[in-house]
Chain A
Amino acid sequence: MRRVLLIAKRDYLTSIRSRAFIIGLIVAPILFGGGFLGMALLRARPDIKDRRVAIVDRTGAAAELVIEAAREKNAKELFDKTTGKQQAPRYLFERAEPASDVNAERLALSDRVRGGELFAFVEIGPEAMHPADDTAIGENAAARRAAYFTNASGLDASREWIADAINDGLRRARLAQLGVDRSHFRDLLRTVTVERMGLIARDPKTGEIGAAHKRGEIEGFAVPFTVVTLLMMIVLVGASPMLPAVAEDKTQRVFEMLLGVATPFELMIGKVLAAMARSLTSSVFYVIGGTFVLVGLSLTALVPLSVHFWFFVYLLAELLILCALAAALGAACSSPQDAQNLGFLLVSPVLVPYFFLMPVLSQPNGAFATALSLFPPFTPLLMLLRQTLPGGIPVWQPWAGLVGALAFALAMTWAASRIFRVGILLQGKTAKAADLVRWAVRG
């Protein structure tokens, strides 16, 4: 144990004094936080240029009322009620007479969109006033719906805005056909906001029933996503340098000298401990930084203390998995190039579950999400994500996941130590996957 700690101490001190560590400490949050920053900037400076939309109304009765609905929607949503600043683009609907040659008309309107004169054009099918129930399928599907033609790319929020206005206009047209006076339209078509609230509970100390709290995007998405991203970031920053470092020590033939004084297992565990300590060091910075952000935004209640506990438990389990894997892969390398090539394999236990974040977020207690989060390599990220969501998960699941993750981490360490022992003295030959399996099995 003394030798393990000495090796860990040397590696730890060397790594945290390196420029790469200090730069990584600063750059990683910037890289990972860049997405959030971009979204915030977009919200702060929205595109408020007017958007002209041509309406081709083949019902013959809706265009004018759609234009009226759009005008009212603009008036309602265009300005921030507190600051009075324009916060969204104004949609200016104009009527285009339906032509007999549909394709020629569409081409002409498309050219106007391409030329920048129009933002988009909309065709309201002739049967859209009273469509059958199966509007989307069947022979006359196109006649029963409205089509939105645009060259807008990416996440196009305008479609939703325009759809709201068209539906509002069509409802007005139907009411007009029923003979309802226009002065009643606004009242009849008024919508109410549906507020998302959390469940209420009795305070265990006072026995009083607590108040329900509003739940929005931040609780349902931003907080879980940020916590999981933070975990991933710390793990990657901590474990990734270990692979090239082991490969470098191997190619510079440092290991044989060390093997005269320490066993391969002591060497590997020392290196794994150093990498874990380095990660915990960086995590202290990130967690303190994150806490300051939450305090500043008065959002501390969104991340309960239990999440902090599980965060560090999963962090340690994930680090053990990745650092052991890094040691094994590093020992299999015969050049720095090999270390670069194997880098993707190293980060896969973190990156693969990251791709499943959205499906798990959409149905966190579904069978798919539960099964994925109980799969040991994915447990640290996906279980933590589910635990951070407002609904919570059954109490047994984090513990079951933790047992699986720790068992997997220990098995990984055992296999890695066997690979490491054989690999570190092998020079001039890059080990193949079959070699790694053979070394892990036979030692």
Chain B
Amino acid sequence: MNAVEIHDVTKTFDAVTAVDNLSLAVPEGSVYGFIGPNGSGKTTTMRMITGIFYPDRGAIRVFGRQMSGARSEMIGYLPEERGLYRKMEVRPLLEFYGELRGGRNVAAEVQAWLARLGLAQWASQKVEALSKGMSQKVQFIAAVVPEPKLLILDEPFSGLDPVSADAIREAVLDLRRRGATVILSTHDMNVAETLCDYIFMIFRGRKVLDGTLASIQEQYGNDTIRVAAEGAAVEDLPGVEKVRDFGHLQELRMSRGCDPQEVLRALVARARVTSFSVMKPSLHDIFVRIAGPAAEEGSDA
């Protein structure tokens, strides 16, 4: 069963089409990553799933139920714009949000989550006394108490230190293990690759990628060479249309029909090659191919 089904949804704001004829199915129990450049429509899509915005056209179903403005106690939502009542103490604030969504006392769950994310000693402090990272963790707890069936996280890792990010990542995976469906947006391609079962990319309001990482990479084939070579330039190699220089190694994108053996031969003739591997493109590379400056120029032409 799908946790979320989006059918031919369009949302416009004045003259801007934020989401254009989008269809998407999020399987229950999966972690679904939303990627895309800023302003591409990720947040608008998430807001429509939670019922904050209504689509102009199309329909959205959450666990088979049509969303029509009514908030569901099954959905936990962490918005991109972080905002909490600054004058409230952490524990009463979380109990308020939890009771608002779940309709019951959630004191025990709040206590457990505060302990899990290392915030127990801050429970009686006002929100304004917390650091940005701690506030973000508090807001994450507000989204997951009481435990939702569908968790929507808009850029949950932005601004977090590695330890806090790991704690949130662990919590997300744990919730998924307990049956929750997670939709998250991120600009960190590594997060999308390693955490998400499915990746959906939206660009200028339209869906441009949707599927597992492997299926997305399959669309592009083995067109990438990762090479490390001593003392030689890798530019102007035959069949190579783009080079990304990482310092100690370079990533070469081959043109269609290019033979990697030809590239290797040309490279060996120029320098001492210490490493050479043919691979599928990374998600980062795919993202840049779709939404980078070259793609912008191509679409503008």
1/0 contact string of B68-107 vs chain A (CB within 8 Å):
0111000111110111111110000000110111010000
Cross-chain contact B83 with A260 (CB below 8 angstroms)? no
Known contacts A2-B103, A6-B99, A6-B100, A256 near B76 by CB under 8 Å: no
Task: Say if the beta carbon of A259 comes within 8 Å of chain B.
Answer: yes
Question: When A6-B100, A7-B100, A257-B142 are in contact, do A263 and B70 touch as well, CB less than 8 Å?
Answer: yes
Measured between beta carbons, the chain A residues less than 8 angstroms from B224 are none
Query: Is A252's CB within 8 Å of the partner chain B?
Result: yes
Residue A294 is within 8 A (CB to CB) of chain B in the complex? no
Is the C-beta of A261 less than 8 angstroms from some C-beta in chain B?
yes
- Contact present for B97 and A257 (CB under 8 Å): yes
The CA-CA distance from A254 to B139 in the complex, in Å, is 11
Interface size class of A (residues with CB under 8 A): 20 to 34
Say if the beta carbon of A253 comes within 8 Å of chain B: yes
Count A/B pairs, Cβ under 8 Å: 63
Q: Give every chain B residue within 8 A of A10 (Cβ-Cβ).
A: 96
Question: Across the interface, do A256 and B96 meet the contact criterion of CB distance under 8 Å?
Answer: no
* Chain A residue with the shortest CB-CB distance to B51: A263
Most chain A CB neighbours (cut-off 10 Å) among B82, B85, B97:
B85
Q: Report the bound CA distance from A69 to B86 in whole Å.
A: 74
Q: Does B173 contact A (CB under 8 A)?
A: no
Query: Is the Cβ of A257 less than 8 Å from the Cβ of B79?
Result: yes
Q: Is B227 on the interface with A (CB-CB < 8 A)?
A: no
Beta-carbon contact of A261 and B85 below 8 Å? no
Q: Which of A257, A262, A427 has the most CB of B within 10 A?
A: A257
Cβ contacts under 8 Å, B70 to chain A: 263
Binary CB contact string for chain A from 256 to 277 against chain B (1 if under 8 A, 0 otherwise) = 1111111100000000000000
B62 lies within 8 A of chain A by Cβ: no
Q: Is the CB of A259 within 8 A of B52?
A: yes
Nearest-neighbour CB distance to chain B for A11, whole angstroms, equals 10
Q: Which residues of A contact B101 (CB under 8 A)?
A: 260-261
Q: B71 — which chain A residues lie within 8 A by C-beta?
A: 3, 259-263
Given contacts A6-B96, A261-B97, contact A253 B77 (CB under 8 A): no
- Does the CB pair B83–A3 fall under 8 Å? no
Residues of A within 8 A of B (CB): 2-3, 6-7, 10, 14, 249, 252-263, 425, 427
Other contacts beyond A260-B52, A260-B75, A261-B100: 10, CB < 8 A: A6-B99, A252-B84, A254-B85, A258-B100, A259-B71, A260-B50, A260-B79, A263-B69, A263-B71, A425-B52
The 7 listed contacts between A and B (C-beta, < 8 Å) are: A3-B100, A6-B100, A14-B88, A252-B86, A256-B79, A256-B81, A261-B97
Residues of B within 8 A of A (CB): 50-52, 69-71, 75-79, 81-88, 96-97, 99-101, 103, 139, 142-143, 152
For the complex of A and B, 5 pairs with smallest distance between CB atoms? A253-B83, A260-B77, A256-B79, A253-B81, A254-B83
